[in-house]
Amino acid sequence: MNCVKVKKRDMEKRKLGNTGYQITPIGLGAWAIGGGGWAFGWGPQDDRESIAAIHRAVDLGINWIDTAAAYGLGHSEEIVCRALAELPQWRRPLVFTKCSLVWDEKGKVSHSLKPESLRAELEASLRRLGVEAIDLYQIHWPAFGAGFTNPDDPGLEQAWQTLADMKKEGKVRAIGVSNFTASQMERIRPIAPVATLQPSYSILSRGVEAETLPYCGAHDIGVIVYSPMKSGLLSGAMTRERIAAMPRNDWRRYHKDFTEPKLTENLAIVEKLRAIGKRRGCSPGEVAIAWTLNHPAVTAAIVGARRPEQVDGFTGAAKIELTPDEIAEI
């Protein structure tokens, strides 16, 4: 099937694990709209443009948004709230957010799985989002690396029990995890079913293929992948000049995939995707997104946007059905 720009409500819906939700194959990611001012920021953003991007996504039929408390240290959730407040109730998309990353008064991010921390984070997210219950609440990371992880964190089991209790209390409607391995999900699954997993997955990041995705497929765990275009690197619009002009507080400017020697190799891959897209009338980024959606265990892909025209540029991926020859070529 050639790439067709998706019109309102043209997108199919897919079952998301055991949540009871039917979601579009593409969801809007709200990491970048959080802006700069924190360790993993994207530099300054125009909030009005961010709100317009959310509205454009809804206009095109996207029925879910993924954000997190940590994105912009709460700012992303606040922008999502402002955007939803301008929509009638019947048009509002599902809202997914995350917990376990916290910050201090200086903006330093750390990690916590303590029940009291998770509960405080939930209440803060409910306030910022302006909702009575969160549609999907996810543990952002099981741990967060040197300098971020709290050595006093209790086990994953205690944290997962806390989320299960939140669901019973009606403050969240479904619970899932992000960046968990198959073994970590197996540890917590006896406490309460794991509804969803959010892993990084793209042509350049395929580590979850060996064990994690098959595990999800075998246990009815919905998979919503993030960074299918590797944070814009596979979009077709990324150049050396654009990277050099990025704000100093854009994390991508210093990442190994955006710097040499990997950058030359990655941009060469983009040209291969561009050739496939040219035959279909699609962008390299849409081909990259469609590639992730081709995996049988993947329910949907999270794609970020900060401006309405960016949304227009990726929704066609929902209609692409890559052929076996194209998959082999990629």
- pLDDT tens, residue by residue, 28-57: 999 999 988 888 888 889 999 999 999 999
Q: How distant, in Å, are the alpha carbons of 114, 231, 265, 268 from that of 42?
A: 28, 10, 23, 24
Residue 252: the pLDDT is: 86
pLDDT in tens, 277-328: 999 999 999 999 999 999 999 999 999 999 999 999 999 999 999 999 999 9
β-bridge partners, 301: 26, 225
Residue 243: the pLDDT is: 83
Whole-number percent of the chain with pLDDT over 90: 76
The number of residues making up the chain comes to 330
**With bands split at pLDDT 50, 70 and 90, how would you rate the model's confidence at 161?**
very high
CB neighbours of 97 closer than 8 A, spacing ≥ 6? 66, 67, 68, 69, 77, 125, 129, 134, 136, 137, 138
Mean pLDDT confidence for 233-245: 83
More confident residue, 237 or 115: 115
**With bands split at pLDDT 50, 70 and 90, how would you rate the model's confidence at 232?**
confident
**In the block, which residue shows the tokens 């265990």?**
297
69-73, 151-155, 206-210: segment of lowest average pLDDT = 151-155
Catalytic position from the list 21, 71, 201, 215: 71
Q: Which of 31, 313, 39, 79 is nearest to 198 (CA)?
A: 31
Residue 148: the pLDDT is: 60
Domains of the chain: 14-322 (3.20.20.100)
> Could you tell me the two tokens for 67?
């954000």
Residue 240 scores a pLDDT above 90 = no
Residue 4: the pLDDT is: 55
How much is the pTM? 0.91
Mean pLDDT confidence for 239-248: 83
Residue 5: the pLDDT is: 57
Task: Please state whether beta strands 222-225 and 300-304 pair in parallel, antiparallel, or not at all (unpaired).
Answer: parallel
Decide if 21 is catalytic.
Answer: no
